[in-house]
Amino acid sequence: MQSLKIRTGLILLFTLMFTSWTTAQGVLSFEDVMKFEDIGSIQLSDNGNWVTYEVWPDRGDGRVEVKSTNGRNTYSIDLGASPQITKSGNWVAAFRKVPLKVQLKDEKNGPQKGLSLLSTDNGNTFSFDSVSSFSFSESGKWLAIHHMQSKEVADLKSENQRLGKTLRLRNLSSGQEFELPFVDEMTFDSLSTYLAYSVVDTTDSENGLYIFDLDSEQKRIIDSQEMAYYSNLTWDHDLKKLAFTKASYDTSYVETDASLHIWNKENDELRNLISLESEQVKEGFVLRSNNRLTFTNDGKRLFFGLMDAEMAALDANKDDEEDIDVYDVDDIVDDRGLDIWHGEDPQIKTHEKKTWNSRKNHLFTAVYHLENSEWVQLADHDMPDVSVDHNPNILIGSTDEPYMRERTWDGSYRDYFFVEPKTGERTQFLEHFGGWVNLSPQGKYASYYQDKHWFLVNTQSGETKNITQNMDVPFYNEDHDYPSAVPGYGIAGWIENDRAVLIYDKFDIWRFETSNGSSRNITAGEGRDTDRIFRIEDMNKDRDEAFKNSEELLLTSYHDLNKNFGFYSARANRSGVNRLLEEDKKFTFIKKAEDASTVLYKREAYDEFPNIWVANNWKFGRKDQLTQLHMDLKNKWNWGSAELINWLSVDGVFTQGVVIKPDNYDPNKRYPIMTYYYRFFTDRLHDFNEPKTNHRPVFAQYVSDEYVVFLPDIRFEIGRPGLSATKSLVPGILKLVDMGIADEDKLGLHGHSWSGYQTAHMVTQTDIFDAAVSGAPVSNMTSAYSGIRWDSGLARQFQYEKTQSRIGKTLVEAPHLYIENSPVFYADRINTPMLIMHGDADGAVPWEQSIELYLAMRRYDKDVVFLQYHDEPHHLQKFSNKLDYAIRMKEYFDYYLKGEDEPEWILEGEAYKGK
């Protein structure tokens, strides 16, 4: 027996067994990881007959595969990426990437990406060079290819950044092509009758809005004006009108105010909806080409945006002064570099800078009522945000302006309003609200979650009901362990005619009638009774309408204890579920064909690659595996298998973890352990761990080299995140020892970011681990508390008081909690060798936090190595750095846990040699 002491005074005992093992064959190498192919960008033709997808390795060249869903035909597009497929599946187009070797040889002057077009009728492929974008018409009869700027035009060094590029229009039936020069924007109408496009040429003399008739294959001018700029080309839902904005430029190409227009293709009428001189625009606002036009589904309204006039004016260039006075104080001071931080600023300067572009270009929503030719500005400085919605009755507006200062240390809050689209009249119904409001499709009701309950608001009368107050199940997050307000599980959707709303609890789906608030559990409590979490999988991804009253719904299921997945069905107006497909696997719904019953989904497990499967319908009656990627991975490598174990935390809390063992696991041996964690990881029991070169360990790489990988769940306590992590994890490690799996002298711990912090803190409390890798950790909460998250510009205070760090109090209120949870104050107690990694351009966790930990450990002669990667963010991006870290991580664990090699960088470091 050996005693292991956690420095909270807990004494833990376990039995030791010493064994040896031999190295298995089939170790997953770093080269294997780089070459490992993955499936992505999956597309399904609307008729359900063809599937296309990417197959690309972690590093190297890949392809696009095109398969018939009956499995009889397969084509490949070498170097293909981001494929698109026509509705009929007759044609597939994909970008053609530049081979990696060519990219590496000449990154600046090498060839540009192109396009490959494949016919599924015969496999013929056509190639096009220098392509920036492409799209099919809705009918699939036309392909528009927008080329990159030609070298001849680029060499002109035109100051006009709007200058158009060549658009190639190909008739896919005849093969005939048309070249349209200097096209800036283009869009097909939904009936594939017209292609609308705008032109900006080198002389600005041909600038205009044009229409290419796809039937007659002729082009015509809709409107043209020298030095004009046409943009935001938008077809309406009923396909009869084209909306656009028109602006002009001065000789320096600075954009002026814009006008709003509609062309009606039925009568060839061009209407000027809002002119440059319109007095209807509120003072302080302007209409610009920076815009977003949206027709409502009924074609009766057109939403557009206005800009703040002062913000828009900032884009204008100032004329250079002809005379220079070298002693002009104002001119001299204008060249200063200064930010003034004021205590009453709505945003701290870093956040103010990060949000500058979005604030400068913010669009204040307005709506044009086409039936009576009237329009109204809905949003303004008092209520900057109004959501676009298709219902004619009500809109939702909001403002966060009164609560901007609170964002520094608290969450985001808003005031919410009902907005009448015809008049712009607004009525406030929520104040200082930190959640989201969900408007029903017809705008009759709105629902929101607050203080552990769901509320329903009648948008006309303003009557508000708490619809969950008398329920005997909780609708708040039952696993919430943060010092912030407890969130809910969300809304699943609405029932037609706004008659009901569907809301989730942790396990089940509930229907609440809007007329009286009565409820029905449409999953009949099966979820809570069996520990299954049911969620609706909406097969219509573009749905902006409600579910039918008696619609049969596809549900996904996840077993909260067994961690397996499945598909079920339920009726929107009944109680009860039917099992469709469920195994000890993970299933992921991909897509249902638009005009057919064909369904695509993925099936995976830790030791089964997530290949694409096809079913004849969403009931999964007949199903077949469509792709066959990595079917031999367990023959090639000692990949391993995953299982679930349970234990009690130090506080007696039921806790679970995933254990991944080698395929040649010997129960008479004890293995080195590589522990990887964050918060809840047991939902990954059936996840296929994709081999990727990044900041994370590749599980199969360690398992194939005869490690056991451990993925434990962590349960946190408010005010004691560091200690609670230790109390969750260490008993799990002891369980592995007690089961005869773990060698107690070969225990490794790895974490990044939040788990990097947990790792750094945990080794101040226990000596159970023999090596630790801590990536981008917070080491000193007292110094980090008032730091900046540079990526967002936000202060870090809110994180410690309300969210992930879970302290729950300010530094002034509870300095002892910040100290107790900071590993840097207990560096003298660390006896575990530690590898620290941080990028010195980290915008989430300041890299100085790793410096503090390194210096503290160094001061106390602790075994520490610090890897500083230059110009890298929170997660390493440069492939050479990612690979270097992956190699060093593996060498570190191999050295301390397996006694392999004696890497010089671990033993002696690496001296700076002037580069």
Q: Are 60 and 102 in contact (CB under 8 A)?
A: no
| Mean model confidence pLDDT for the chain | 93
Nearest to 725 by CA among 3, 5, 6: 6
As a whole number of angstroms, the distance between CA 194 and CA 421 comes to: 31
Pairing type for strands 742-752 and 671-676 reads: parallel
As a whole number of angstroms, the distance between CA 398 and CA 235 comes to: 28
Nearest to 712 by CA among 692, 727, 701: 727
Residue ranges with strand state E in 666-759: 671-676, 708-712, 742-752
pLDDT value at position 281?
79
Residue 73 pLDDT more than 90? yes
Q: What does the DSSP assignment read for 675-692? A: EE-SS--GGGTT------
As a whole number of angstroms, the distance between CA 90 and CA 814 comes to: 66
pLDDT value at position 25?
60
As a whole number of angstroms, the distance between CA 839 and CA 203 comes to: 48
Give the distance from CA 638 to its chain's centroid: 33
As a whole number of angstroms, the distance between CA 659 and CA 677 comes to: 12
Mapping DSSP to helix (H, G, I), strand (E, B) and coil, where does residue 54 land? strand
**Token code pair at residue 4:** 């292991």
Residue ranges with strand state E in 266-361: 269-274, 285-286, 294-295, 301-308
As a whole number of angstroms, the distance between CA 764 and CA 785 comes to: 21
Residue type, 7: R
As a whole number of angstroms, the distance between CA 464 and CA 478 comes to: 25
* pLDDT band at residue 160 using 50, 70 and 90 as cut-offs: confident
Residue 755 pLDDT more than 70? yes
Q: Are 112 and 129 in contact (CB under 8 A)?
A: yes
Q: Are 721 and 805 in contact (CB under 8 A)?
A: yes
Q: Are 83 and 77 in contact (CB under 8 A)?
A: yes
CB count, 10 Å around CB of 460? Answer: 12
As a whole number of angstroms, the distance between CA 747 and CA 766 comes to: 12
pLDDT tens per residue across span 706-733: 999 999 999 999 999 999 999 999 999 9
Mapping DSSP to helix (H, G, I), strand (E, B) and coil, where does residue 661 land? strand
* pLDDT band at residue 256 using 50, 70 and 90 as cut-offs: confident
Render the burial of 309-326: b for 16+ CB within 10 Å, e for the rest.
eebbeeeeeeeeeeeeee
Q: Measuring CA to CA, how many Å separate 717 from each of 768, 777, 887?
A: 22, 19, 35
Percent of the chain with pLDDT over 90: 87
Residue 276 pLDDT more than 80? no
Give the residues across from 836 on adjacent strands: 774, 866
Give the distance from CA 77 to its chain's centroid: 28
pLDDT tens per residue across span 619-648: 999 999 999 999 999 999 999 999 999 999
Residue 766 pLDDT more than 60? yes
The 8-class DSSP code of residue 493 comes to E
Give the distance from CA 663 to its chain's centroid: 34
Pairing type for strands 426-433 and 437-439 reads: unpaired
pLDDT tens per residue across span 508-567: 999 999 999 999 999 999 999 999 999 999 998 766 689 999 999 999 999 999 999 999
Gap between the terminal Cα atoms of the chain:
51
Angle at 304 between CA 300 and CA 309, to 5 degrees: 150
Residues 6+ apart with CB under 8 A from 41: 53, 54, 64, 81, 82, 83
For residue 132, count CB atoms less than 10 angstroms from its CB and return exposed for 0-12, middle for 13-18, buried for 19 or more: middle
Give the residues across from 749 on adjacent strands: 675, 772
As a whole number of angstroms, the distance between CA 415 and CA 413 comes to: 7
pLDDT tens per residue across span 422-455: 999 999 999 999 999 999 999 999 999 999 999 9
pLDDT value at position 317?
53
* pLDDT band at residue 253 using 50, 70 and 90 as cut-offs: confident
Nearest to 421 by CA among 348, 474, 370, 466: 370
As a whole number of angstroms, the distance between CA 724 and CA 677 comes to: 14
The 8-class DSSP code of residue 216 comes to T
Mapping DSSP to helix (H, G, I), strand (E, B) and coil, where does residue 811 land? coil
As a whole number of angstroms, the distance between CA 238 and CA 190 comes to: 9
Mapping DSSP to helix (H, G, I), strand (E, B) and coil, where does residue 411 land? coil
For the segment 122-126, the average pLDDT, to the nearest whole number, is 96
Mapping DSSP to helix (H, G, I), strand (E, B) and coil, where does residue 277 land? coil
Give the residues across from 763 on adjacent strands: none
Residue 10 pLDDT more than 90? no
Residue matched to tokens 């036309």: 142
**Token code pair at residue 331:** 């001119």
**Token code pair at residue 452:** 């552990």
**Token code pair at residue 508:** 């089940």
For residue 152, count CB atoms less than 10 angstroms from its CB and return exposed for 0-12, middle for 13-18, buried for 19 or more: exposed
pLDDT tens per residue across span 672-693: 999 999 999 999 999 999 999 9
pLDDT value at position 64?
98
Give the residues across from 12 on adjacent strands: 4
Give the residues across from 453 on adjacent strands: 450
pLDDT value at position 614?
98
Number of Cα atoms under 13 Å in the Cβ half of residue 460: 5
**Token code pair at residue 793:** 């510009």
* pLDDT band at residue 251 using 50, 70 and 90 as cut-offs: low
pLDDT value at position 279?
66
Q: Measuring CA to CA, how many Å separate 451 from each of 331, 415, 462, 809?
A: 55, 16, 19, 20
Q: Measuring CA to CA, how many Å separate 908 from each of 297, 492, 898, 905?
A: 69, 58, 19, 5
* R_g of the chain, CA atoms, integer Å: 31
Residues 53, 55, 61, 64, Cα dihedral to 10°: -30
pLDDT value at position 322?
62
Helices (H) and strands (E) in the chain, counts: 18, 56
Q: Are 415 and 432 in contact (CB under 8 A)?
A: yes
As a whole number of angstroms, the distance between CA 306 and CA 420 comes to: 18
pLDDT tens per residue across span 812-829: 999 999 999 999 999 999
As a whole number of angstroms, the distance between CA 237 and CA 300 comes to: 10
As a whole number of angstroms, the distance between CA 633 and CA 38 comes to: 13
As a whole number of angstroms, the distance between CA 226 and CA 230 comes to: 11
As a whole number of angstroms, the distance between CA 382 and CA 186 comes to: 36
